[in-house]
Copies of this chain bind each other. A is one copy, B any other.
Amino acid sequence: MAGIKDVAKTAGVSVSTVSYVLSGKRPISSKTTDKVLKAIEELGYIPDASAQKMRGQLNHIIAISEPMHEGMNQMQYSAYFMQSAWQARSAGYDVLLLTGPDAVADIERVTHSNLVDGVLLLDVEERDARVAAAARYRKPCVAIGLPKSHKDCACIDIDFAKMGRRSADRLFALGHRQVALLRAQEIDYERHAGYVLLFREEFLARADEIGLDVFESGPVDNATFDARRFVSDMLSRNPRPTALVSQSGVSILNLTVTALMAAGLKIPEDISVLSCGTFLRDEPMRRPVSEEPFEPERLCAIAMGSLISSIEKRQSIAGEVTLIDPKFIDRGSLASAPRNVGSGDGGFSVSASFGGRQADLAQADSAQADVETSASESIASASQSRNLEGEPMD
């Protein structure tokens, strides 16, 4: 392994000259510079990272903490993760990924041993042990997420509270008075993922304030969720909800949208759909859904930016909180509330259609496939009967 001494010898100069050529911290004659550069090239010299760091230089490594846990949305987190890695690399930093179960210990280890220059916390929960322990890390630390207590850690997040209130307002403004709320996976509430709780709380509170009637779904679990049932429950209310706000993931949202359409409802004419705290951009959807999204790029860029600036300026950012204004992406699934949605009027009496079919189901295969298919069949009859009533076939 060629070291700085070898370069110096080859170039016929002293080691300090080589060092200064590399760092540019001292003027060097162009003749000498050339010799040195040539020697470096020739020997394929790359400075030893450890020796540099021993001299107090930065390591240019950032730890990203993202402990794996049950039921994590890989897509979603890898989006954050990839974005952060990209941002870090663009700024000349490598990324050390910490996924182990004992995150705090890992972070202490890599910060105390001077392995990394800073720490980024992903997937932060409402009460996050990593954030709570931030004071003990000897390096700057930024969290994406806003836990309850965060006095020793910089936090950056979308303003989910505002998102909740704004969503309620948005639907109200469109004339909706009855809305359904499709919950996120129960597991997300249980682990107290800050954003799901915050959004839901504020949404419900605001809805209550302005007189928006909310029908909230039961607990949701990706494995067992029954979209037809949820839709059927929702539509059997009187008056029925004219809008659906969803906190759930893509697959469940897709199933629900499918079930809504299967129930003969057109989006957005008959029912508005709004997905909040999701990241649908690259997801294949049954039908595009308007969204108040996560914004991995924006969040990660801001977080990484302030982390790196804190590192390089050597100035603490502990306790700083940055809340980002939520964005709204219009994908055409929101419209003014339809009139006359009570049962027995010009609207569809979908529950009847479902009910009729449900009797049949008892005899049918219990395979999910068939259940879904039969949902489609009942649409067929729904549109047929609509047609008989002289309504346009659309």
Interface residues of A, Cβ cutoff 8 Å to B: 1, 44, 46-51, 53-54, 59, 61, 68, 74-75, 78-79, 82, 85-86, 89, 94-100, 108-110, 112-115, 138, 222, 251, 261-262, 284, 286-287, 365, 367-369, 372-373, 376-377, 379-380, 394
Are B262 and A373 within 8 A (Cβ)?
yes
Can you name 30 A-B residue pairings with CB atoms under 8 Å? A1-B138, A46-B108, A46-B113, A49-B113, A50-B51, A68-B82, A74-B75, A74-B78, A82-B99, A85-B97, A89-B99, A94-B97, A94-B115, A95-B97, A95-B99, A96-B96, A222-B284, A261-B373, A262-B373, A286-B368, A286-B369, A286-B372, A287-B368, A365-B394, A373-B376, A376-B377, A376-B379, A376-B380, A377-B377, A377-B380
Question: Whose C-beta in chain B lies nearest to the C-beta of A381?
Answer: B380
Contact partners of A284 in chain B: CB under 8 A: 222, 251
Which listed residue (B99, B262, B394) contacts A86, Cβ 8 A? B99
Which listed residue (B48, B78, B100, B372) contacts A89, Cβ 8 A? B100
Question: Whose C-beta in chain B lies nearest to the C-beta of A51?
Answer: B54
Contact partners of A138 in chain B: CB under 8 A: 1
Are A46 and B112 within 8 A (Cβ)?
yes
Are B68 and A86 within 8 A (Cβ)?
yes
Closest chain B CB from A239 CB (angstroms): 25
Given contacts A75-B74, A97-B95, A369-B286, contact A49 B50 (CB under 8 A): yes
Which listed residue (B68, B110, B112) contacts A44, Cβ 8 A? B112
Which of A100, A373, A376 has the largest number of chain B CB atoms within 10 A?
A376
Given contacts A115-B49, A367-B287, contact A94 B96 (CB under 8 A): yes
Q: How far is the CA of A1 from the CA of B113 in the complex (A)?
A: 10
Closest chain B CB from A337 CB (angstroms): 21
Are A261 and B369 within 8 A (Cβ)?
yes
Contact partners of A222 in chain B: CB under 8 A: 284
Contact partners of A99 in chain B: CB under 8 A: 82, 85-86, 89, 95
Contact partners of A286 in chain B: CB under 8 A: 368-369, 372
Contact partners of A110 in chain B: CB under 8 A: 94
Closest chain B CB from A45 CB (angstroms): 8
Q: How far is the CA of A115 from the CA of B50 in the complex (A)?
A: 7
Q: How far is the CA of A98 from the CA of B38 in the complex (A)?
A: 28
Q: How far is the CA of A46 from the CA of B100 in the complex (A)?
A: 19
Closest chain B CB from A170 CB (angstroms): 23
Q: How far is the CA of A394 from the CA of B369 in the complex (A)?
A: 13
Closest chain B CB from A249 CB (angstroms): 10
Question: Whose C-beta in chain B lies nearest to the C-beta of A79?
Answer: B74
- Beyond the given A50-B54, A50-B114, please list 20 additional residue pairs across the A-B interface where CB-CB is below 8 A: A46-B112, A47-B113, A48-B114, A49-B113, A49-B114, A50-B51, A54-B54, A61-B96, A85-B99, A86-B99, A94-B98, A222-B284, A251-B284, A262-B373, A286-B368, A286-B369, A376-B376, A376-B377, A376-B379, A376-B380
Contact partners of A372 in chain B: CB under 8 A: 286
Question: Whose C-beta in chain B lies nearest to the C-beta of A55?
Answer: B50
Question: Whose C-beta in chain B lies nearest to the C-beta of A64?
Answer: B97
Question: Whose C-beta in chain B lies nearest to the C-beta of A85?
Answer: B99
Contact partners of A1 in chain B: CB under 8 A: 114, 138
Q: How far is the CA of A94 from the CA of B64 in the complex (A)?
A: 11
Q: How far is the CA of A112 from the CA of B40 in the complex (A)?
A: 13
Contact partners of A369 in chain B: CB under 8 A: 261, 286-287
Are B262 and A48 within 8 A (Cβ)?
no
Contact partners of A53 in chain B: CB under 8 A: 50
Which of A49, A51, A75, A251 has the largest number of chain B CB atoms within 10 A?
A49
Given contacts A99-B85, A251-B284, contact A109 B46 (CB under 8 A): yes
Q: How far is the CA of A110 from the CA of B287 in the complex (A)?
A: 45
